Structure formats: C-alpha cells, structure tokens
Structure 1
Amino acid sequence: MGLTIGRRLLFAATCAGAVATVYAAQPVLAEIGADLRVPDAELGWIVTAGQLGYLAGLALLVPLGDLVDRRRLITTQLVLAAAGVAVAAVATRAWLLLAGVGLAGLFAVVVQTTVAYAAALATPADRGRTLGTVTAGVVVGILGARVAAGALAAVAGWRSVYLALATLLLALAYLVRRLLPADPRAEPASYRAVLASLGGLFRERLFVTRGLVALFLFASFGTLWSGLALPLAAPPWRLGTAQIGLFGIAGLAGALGAARAGRWADRGLAGPVTGGALALLTGSWLALGQASWSLWLVGAGVLALDFAVQVVHVGNQHALTAAHPDRTSTVVGGYMIFYSLGSALGAAATTTAYASAGWRGSSILGAAFAGCAVLAWLAGRARSAGGPAGRVRSAGGRKAAGPVAVSCAPRSPTAS
C-alpha cells in the first residue's frame, strides 16, 4: 500500500506535535522557575524528566507497534501525551509539573510508532521519500517548538505553551483516527517475544553499526544545540534569547533540505551520501568554532550540521526498516535508544567543555563526536566488505551482521 501526500503530511505533523512536548520547556525554563519557585540549579530536571520518560518509552512502548493496530496505538498515545502536558499546564507544584512532563515524554515516543508505521505503509520504491518527509516533521517539532514556545509564552505565559500543545495533540489524535488506515496484525505475537526480539537486534552488525553512528551523530548535534547559546550570549555579541533563537531557523532550513535524502536512499545512493554527509558534519565544526568573531560562519555551520545530521538519520532508518520490514516498530525503537543516549551525552558534555575551555573546547568536542561517527561508519563498511566470515546468524534465522566494536573517546577539550 502506498501513501498519499496528505497522509505523509499527517504523519509528519503527528511527529512534530509529539516531539515538541519534550523540547517546549527549554525556552521557558526561567519563567517556570520564577512561577513555581524552582531554583536555577534544579531547572534542568524539567527537561530531564521528559527525556527520561522518552527513554523509557523507547524500550517499553515502541515495540507495541509490532503487536497491535498502530492507528489505534498512535491515537491512544497522542491522547495520553496530551493528558501529560495538560497536567503540566495546571501544575502549582514542581513535583506535579515534573510528573506531567515525564508522562508526556513517555508517550511522546508515538513519534517512533508513527515513523515505523509510515515505513510499513510505504512501498519499497518510496520508503526513503516517506521517511524523509516524516523525519522533516520531527525536525520541525524539535527546532520549531523552541521558537513557538518562546513567542507564545511572551504573549500569554508559559502555561499557554502546554495548553496549546494539549489542544494540538488531541486534534492530531482525531485526524489520525479518521484519516489513517487500520493496521490489523496477521501474526500476533507476545509482548515478551517482541522485547526479546529487540534484545536480539543488538547482536546484528547492521543495527549496531547504524546505532553507533547515530549515538555519535546526535552527541555532536546535542553539543551544538545545548551549548551554542553560551558564546552567543557572552561578549562580544551579548545576544538576547530572541536573537539566539533565530539560529534555529538556519538549522531548520538545513534539516528540511535533508528531506531529499530519502529520495537518494530510494535510488540506492545511501552509502556515498552518508559518507559525504558525515564529512560535512565534521567540517561544519570549523565554521561553528568561529563564534567569537563571525556570526555568518556560525549560521553557515548550523545549516550544514543540521543538514548532515538529518541526511544520515534518514539513511540509517531507511537501511534498518528495509532490513526488517516485518518489525519496523521494534527496530526503530531500538535505534532511537542510541539517538537518545547520544543527545544526552552531547548535552551534558558541552557545558562541561565550555566551563573548562570555552566555546573552542565545545567545538573540539563536537568535532570529535563527528569523527567517531565517521569511524563507526567506516568500520561497518569494512566489516561488510569482509564477506561471510564476519557474519553471524540472528535469532530469526536470517544472516545478520555481528556487532562492531568502536572505541572512540573524544579528546579532552584542552588537548589541542
């Protein structure tokens, strides 16, 4: 069954709305802290609560997509995510806000259920194009949430951000229920068997290689977006929050340009395109490292980095869903565990690097993560070229690649 343009756009909008629940708090943390009397040192827990819920959902909820009707599952998860952000919107205590954000994060993994369902419905000839469109929706949600939340909060306060999200998620749930096809399961399996299948993926070379690439890829991405505001707000620029937010538009333009990556994958060009994108990712840090004297170079670096990240991300998902068309939810959920860990690693490491060596240290760190992604990709290609000697048999009986061990610890920011 193919997908119409309207359905692809609905999938993309669903992803954008769901992922926004995890990132909407970032531009309004100061307002939340002032309203609920949360100390500055503890504000990070608001974002962390959503990320922890998301990580739990990747392992526990996304595999359900290989068991039940995904249309019904997406609808239910959107409604429950809406309930979470509604709780956050009316919270009068910090613990209640954390509970609401954590609940919303848990069910925001509807993003991965949606990506997997879109890949399953697409024909092999247009799977890449479909994944490119849906992934563009994810990027719009991540970057657009920051811009929209800041603007809405300036007009109506931080609670309006969560109320608007709750309304959007409920509207999307209604549209999904009405416009997407049902997804009956011909071969029902047990939840325990699906979780065991998820564990088995970590013994497959293709999965581990693409997962390691994603881990370092999004560590580099997290290094940029969790640390860029620091040099821009510092001398000589002293930019305000709204001005810093404009760099998100450059990132959005780059990421949306990468939607074409799916078409390249459909044409069998995923290998060379991924290699080129990883080289671009590494090179982008040469421009990003010039934040002390050129905002134009920073803008160009942001555009290049986001383009490269999304090209590789789409290629990874295309390869994995093509290899496992019978369990797209499980393989996408497992892959996104690497994504989540990488994002958290980059976010945590960049502030430490900045404190010890300034933005130069953060830039070296981001470039080191990008270099590790290149090495993981090259190691995977080298093993694949080695032929049958390097292959192991997966639990399902098909030949699959064995795990690739890549040791790539980034240099200390002070090492150069």
Structure 2
Amino acid sequence: MMKSMHETHNTQQPAIPGYLIFMLALTAGMAVASLYYCQPLLALLGNDFHLNSATVGTLPTLTQAGYALGLMLLIPLGDKFDRRRVILVKGLALAAALAFTAVSPGLALLLVASFIVGITATMAQDVIPTAAAMTDSRQRGRVVGQVMTGLLTGILLSRVFSGFIGEWFGWRSVYLAAAAAMLLVTILLWRALPRFTPASTLSVGQLYRSMFSLLATHAKLQKAAVAQGLLNAAFSAFWSTLALMLYQNFHLGSSAAGLFGLAGAVGALTAPFFGKAADRFGPQRMTRIGALLTGVSFLLMLFAGSAINTTWYLPILAVLTVSFDMGVQMCLISHQTIIYNTAPHAMSRANAILLAGVFIGMTSGSLVASQLFSHWGWQAVIAFATLVSTLALLLRLLPERRTMISDSVI
C-alpha cells in the first residue's frame, strides 16, 4: 500500500533508500537530457524538412523558452500539490511530447512539440526538492549532490546519445527511444514514490504571489539567488564565447570546444562529494570556497592570456576550466542545500527563485560576453567573468542577515 509522507519543519526524517536516490537521479538526468537531444540532430532535421540553418535553429530556442516558462509557472506547484502526482503527470506529459516530436510530420508540429518538451522537462527540477523533502536536513547536501550527479550526467550524455542514435537509426528513433525510457521510469516512480502531503494551503494565485514575500523575507534566499546568478553569468560568458576564441586564435573547430565540455564530467563526478562537504562543514562555508575557486580560476586565466598564442596556453586553459566548473557546481549544490534548509515549507518556490537567478545570470552573461568579445576580444570576457565571480565571493563573505518569517508565504 502506498505510504504518505508529511513535509514538516522537523529535521528528523527516515533515511531515503539508496535505490530511490538512484531512481530520482536517473529521472532528473533523463528529463533534463530532453532539452539537448535536438542539438546534434539539427543537420538531420534540416535535411529531412528542407530547412535552412536559421529556421532549424529555432528548435533548441523554443525548447529552452518552454523550459524557462515551466520553471516559473510549474515548479512552484510542488508546494501546492502532492509532489508525487506532479512528477508523475509531468513524466507522462514529457513521454507524450517526446513521442509527438518523433512522429511530427512537419515543422509547425515539430515546433509545438519542442516547446512542450521544454515545459515538461522541468520535472528534473521537481525531483531535486522532492529528494530534499525526503531527507534529514543533516544529510540533505549529500542526497542533493547525488541527484545532481544524475542531472549533470544527463546533460553530458544527452548529446552523445542523440548524436550516435541519430546517425545510425535516424532522428525519429532518438525521440521514440527517449519517450519509451521516460514512460518506463515514470511507471517505476509510480510504484516507488510515496505520496506527499502538500506543504502549502495557499491557492494557486496566492502561491505565485507568495514567491515575492518569500524572497523579501528570507535573506539567505536573496543571497543564494544573486550569488549563484553572478557565478552563472561568469559560467555562461566563458562557454558562449569559447568556440569563437578557439577558432580565431587557434583555428580549431567545434569539436575542440566540445572536448573542453568534458570538464563538466568533473563537476558531475564530484557533486556527491560537494554535497557531503556541505553537510559536514556547512553549506555557507562551501559557497565561499566554491566562489573563491571560481574567481581565482578566472583570474589565473586573465594572467595566462598574455601568452594566449603559445602552445601551453590551451593546457592551462583546460585545467582552469575544470577548476572553475567545480567551483560553480560546488556553489550550486551548497546554495540548494541552503535554500531547502531555510524554507522547508516552500522548497519548490525557493528552488524556482534560485533557478530564476541562474537563468538571469546565464542569459545576461551570454549577452554581455558576446558584446565584449566583439569589441575587445577574449581577455575582456575573462575580465568580466573574474569581476562577477569576485562579486559573488564578496557577497558570500557578507555576514548573514536575520531572516524575517511571514505566514503569508506558507
């Protein structure tokens, strides 16, 4: 018989089974992977539908737009409704959207399907607060880190999976396989996940409005959203211009930039360690270490830029890419631990606010970096990344302000 789990402010929770942590990590990875399947398939899609590069490029854009909309409108609902039901409904909807993509006969339906895939792929961000809600606050960092490993691995492997399957079996096979896998994992979650008592009694309209009160009354949430936004601005600035720098300075193609992307594997593999460290040493301390590691990495890149045309620049850049990626991931996991412990009654809304900060940082970082690179080159981009990551460190070093508690956010 399905058990029910009450979300309370009590830090004492029974240990979450290891198999369930694995299933949640797998679900997060599979859901977020749906956002990236199309990227290696754009050429195949363009040939199949006779589209130019500009038109076919709208597919990943629409998918990301759907994801952004889902983050703001759907993620907060995890506090209003049974988390299990939210995840299962989204899982079925995502499986249907992936199948719909696979059988789309033309561009119009393909665009609609891509948008729906983006919206429903936000179930990845429902899984993380669900795992946190099932975990004792003293072990929350470890569990969040393990689930984040699944999410980050999904991002890394999604392009490899879709590229290989698409080349040998066609792009439709990618989405059919993904739809079947998502349906299977949703059925498994239906059997394994307990029901959750909703954390909030607010109406849906009040729930959305309460996010402003939540942000205004929780200083730790404010600091987490702004600091992570700054770090992700640096992250996005680097990655959005790296391929251009490699081509202009070293005449290297996109495959070289892809190899640098393997740095993300380090962040994925070390995520559980960062979570355990947040539990042991405190997430506030870990955010300071992570921000310091990120800032120092970009500062060393700035110094190394004086020798950008030498043979040893690229090895140094690769090492520093690994170190700054580790710093950003360390901060993200620690910030998630902070917000879940700060607002246990509003984990989904707090997660939506943190992700809004991440999204704003990523978008603004990419926009600023494109202008800096166009007018002043790669060194200007790295200087910007150094500046904003240093600001994040200074913000984390500020003393914590007392949080005001308001019943209106519950």
Structure 1 length as normaliser, TM-score? 0.85
Deviates most, 348-357 or 266-275: 348-357
Partners in 2 of 1:299 and 1:186 — Cα distance?
Answer: 44
Deviates most, 317-326 or 58-67: 58-67
- Deviations 1:371-403, CA, capped at 9 Å, x for gaps: 23223323xx23x2xxxxx656343289xxxxx
The alignment status of 1:215 with 2:229, answered yes or no, reads yes
Could you tell me whether the CA contact under 8 Å between 1:211 and 1:335 is conserved in 2? yes
Partner residue in 1 for 2:24: 11
State the number of aligned residues. 389
The alignment status of 1:183 with 2:196, answered yes or no, reads yes
1:343 CA drift (Å): 1.9
Partner residue in 1 for 2:205: 192
Could you tell me whether the CA contact under 8 Å between 1:254 and 1:304 is conserved in 2? no
1:262 CA drift (Å): 1.2
Q: Go from structure 1 to structure 2 and tell me whether the alpha carbon gap of 1:310 and 1:223 turns closer, same or farther (over 3 Å shift).
A: same
Could you tell me whether the CA contact under 8 Å between 1:9 and 1:134 is conserved in 2? yes
Partners in 2 of 1:302 and 1:15 — Cα distance?
Answer: 25
Which residue of 177, 198, 206 maps to 2:220? 206
> Which one-letter code corresponds to 2:243 in the other structure?
A
Partner residue in 2 for 1:166: 179
The alignment status of 1:269 with 2:282, answered yes or no, reads yes
The alignment status of 1:76 with 2:95, answered yes or no, reads no
Which sections of structure 2, spanning at least 5 residues, go unmatched? 1-13
Q: Go from structure 1 to structure 2 and tell me whether the alpha carbon gap of 1:283 and 1:94 turns closer, same or farther (over 3 Å shift).
A: farther
Partner residue in 1 for 2:354: 335
> Which one-letter code corresponds to 2:30 in the other structure?
G
Q: Go from structure 1 to structure 2 and tell me whether the alpha carbon gap of 1:347 and 1:97 turns closer, same or farther (over 3 Å shift).
A: farther
| Corresponding residue SS for 1:298 | helix
The alignment status of 1:142 with 2:155, answered yes or no, reads yes
1:233 CA drift (Å): 4.1
The alignment status of 1:248 with 2:261, answered yes or no, reads yes
> Which one-letter code corresponds to 1:35 in the other structure?
D
Could you tell me whether the CA contact under 8 Å between 1:58 and 1:333 is conserved in 2? yes
| Corresponding residue SS for 1:68 | coil
Partner residue in 2 for 1:409: none
Could you tell me whether the CA contact under 8 Å between 2:16 and 2:134 is conserved in 1? yes
1:175 CA drift (Å): 1.4
Could you tell me whether the CA contact under 8 Å between 1:252 and 1:306 is conserved in 2? no
> Which one-letter code corresponds to 1:393 in the other structure?
M
Which residue of 312, 317, 320 maps to 1:301? 320
1:211 CA drift (Å): 0.4
> Which one-letter code corresponds to 1:396 in the other structure?
D
1:210 CA drift (Å): 0.7
Deviates most, 318-327 or 279-288: 279-288
Identical positions, percent: 30
Could you tell me whether the CA contact under 8 Å between 2:26 and 2:150 is conserved in 1? yes
Which residue of 124, 129, 147 maps to 1:111? 124
1:281 CA drift (Å): 0.9
Which sections of structure 1, spanning at least 5 residues, go unmatched? 385-389, 399-416
1:278 CA drift (Å): 0.8
Q: Go from structure 1 to structure 2 and tell me whether the alpha carbon gap of 1:391 and 1:240 turns closer, same or farther (over 3 Å shift).
A: closer
> Which one-letter code corresponds to 1:157 in the other structure?
G
| Corresponding residue SS for 1:38 | coil
Q: Go from structure 1 to structure 2 and tell me whether the alpha carbon gap of 1:65 and 1:240 turns closer, same or farther (over 3 Å shift).
A: closer
CA RMSD of aligned residues (A): 2.4
> Which one-letter code corresponds to 1:126 in the other structure?
Q
Partner residue in 2 for 1:20: 33
The alignment status of 1:231 with 2:245, answered yes or no, reads yes
> Which one-letter code corresponds to 1:51 in the other structure?
Q
Partner residue in 2 for 1:278: 291
Partners in 2 of 1:44 and 1:216 — Cα distance?
Answer: 28
Which residue of 390, 396, 402 maps to 2:407? 396
- Deviations 1:287-338, CA, capped at 9 Å, x for gaps: 4875654332232122112211111001111011001112211211221111
Could you tell me whether the CA contact under 8 Å between 1:259 and 1:311 is conserved in 2? no
Could you tell me whether the CA contact under 8 Å between 2:31 and 2:123 is conserved in 1? yes
Partner residue in 1 for 2:370: 351
| Corresponding residue SS for 1:183 | strand
Partners in 2 of 1:228 and 1:317 — Cα distance?
Answer: 28
Partners in 1 of 2:140 and 2:279 — Cα distance?
Answer: 7
Q: Go from structure 1 to structure 2 and tell me whether the alpha carbon gap of 1:60 and 1:359 turns closer, same or farther (over 3 Å shift).
A: same
- Deviations 1:108-163, CA, capped at 9 Å, x for gaps: 11112111110000112211100111111221122222333233333233333323
Partners in 2 of 1:266 and 1:392 — Cα distance?
Answer: 21
Deviates most, 160-169 or 118-127: 160-169
Partners in 1 of 2:64 and 2:153 — Cα distance?
Answer: 18
Deviates most, 77-86 or 154-163: 154-163
Structure 2 length as normaliser, TM-score? 0.87
- Deviations 1:161-199, CA, capped at 9 Å, x for gaps: 323322221122111111222223486442223222212
Q: Go from structure 1 to structure 2 and tell me whether the alpha carbon gap of 1:334 and 1:171 turns closer, same or farther (over 3 Å shift).
A: same
